[in-house]
Structure 1
Amino acid sequence: MKNYFLPLFLIFVSFGYSQDEKNEQEVKQLKAVVLNAQTDQPMESVHVVNLNEVVGTITNEKGEFNIPAKVNDTLYITFLGFKSQKVRVTNDMFKFKETKISLTELAYALEEVIVRPYSLTGYLEIDVKNLPLNNAFQYSISGLSVGYEAGSKNPSAVTKVLGAILNPADLLRNLFGKKPNQMRKLRQMKEDDQIRDLLASKFDRETLTELLQLEKVDIEDILNNCNYSKSFITTANDLQILDAISSCYEEYKVLNRKK
């Protein structure tokens, strides 16, 4: 009789494990609270992004947030003036529902800023020559909704712009071809209002690198390859950078299809 019961027991055990594994992979609403590590007070308007599901939310006045997540997802939590934190979602976070996440305040050392005013003479012809100029020019291409930046206003600059789009975008293809989920993430990021609001307020590329799993140098290389100017790359906010990467890649695909 023991020989009959043993296989049956193993079937139930195996079924139990598979059910637990399935439950862990289900996307559920995760609730937690974000606190100031120094004061232990709840923090309002903290941005919380699920890097795996590519959805975002913000904390309420009690520091609470709800976000779709599953076990082993990574939450990226960020607030101006505080050190950003990544938290791995565990099964206990769903069971006990009293998860508290603390953010540590950053210490800022302000460097001396020297302001050098421009010496204006009152003569337009002279003053115009003394003011700094942005040497990045926009070039529009028929059939495309946006323009492209290039370094100088000469025929070779236009050729450079066309070449970057019409030739195989090896860098883009290498980066995103090896990680097909990245383009899906780009589209999801553009559709999530909370993520767009967060990116619009940031200039450090930190959130972008976490979401896209790219290095900052990769992002710069992509934009250089698409002929965006140095001034745009260094001064644009993260949302503008996101739109630039997405636009460049989508337009390359459209033109590549027409070959």
Structure 2
Amino acid sequence: MAELVYKQIIDDLKKKIFAGQFADMRLPDERSLSETYQVSRSSIKSALTKMANDGIIFKKRGSGTFINPLYIKNESIFNYEGSNLGVTDNFQMNGKRPKVRVLNFEVIPPTEELQRDLFLQPHDFVYKIIRLRLFDEEPFMIETGYIPIKIVQDLNQTIIEGSIFNYLEEVQNLAVTKSFLSISAEPSDANDQKLLRLRENEPVGIMEGIFFLDNGTPFEFSHMRFHYKYMKFNTFVSVQ
């Protein structure tokens, strides 16, 4: 419950930051925030520590807590929080969560590459799922995923129109908690241009990788093609 409280505080502070409610780029002190949210100082401290670790705010000794201006300037859609790495829950833009449009759903034999990446045998069939992700009606990603049937046997159209990772966690008691991702860019092709509303001379961002269950089992190989304007990552480096 305490974890939920501090996350709610973070979500609300983020909304206020982007709404410009802290014109001087400074957050109220912990005591004031505790009174505003009617929670303990420890919950406020947990929220501020997480925000500082994520590079959203920084503490200046003797002066207070300030908003990182680069966080506002370079808001990323990649906001991984919670217990799994699903796109539905973790990708946000100005508080909007992605919608899903299923483009293709079929069962296929694994290619040699999939056999290698997901540790499959030639007879281990996989689901091939192609989905278009949108914020409201604006497309930002074409996602092609391959999931072994032997791991989850009952995927259907209704499940893949929502969050597959949430379904795993809530129904199958499995969580996707690790991934290895590579990021690149290339010229957009005709399909990218049609689905992502790109011009012929505009590039597409590529994110490709393997997602793992919490027990270490490779669960999905995913190939994601992004509208280039959404390919923005923030990182915070701290040298101890």
Instruction: Give the TM-score band, short-chain normalised.
Output: under 0.3
Task: Provide TM-score, normalisation by structure 2.
Answer: 0.25
* Larger helix proportion of the pair: 1
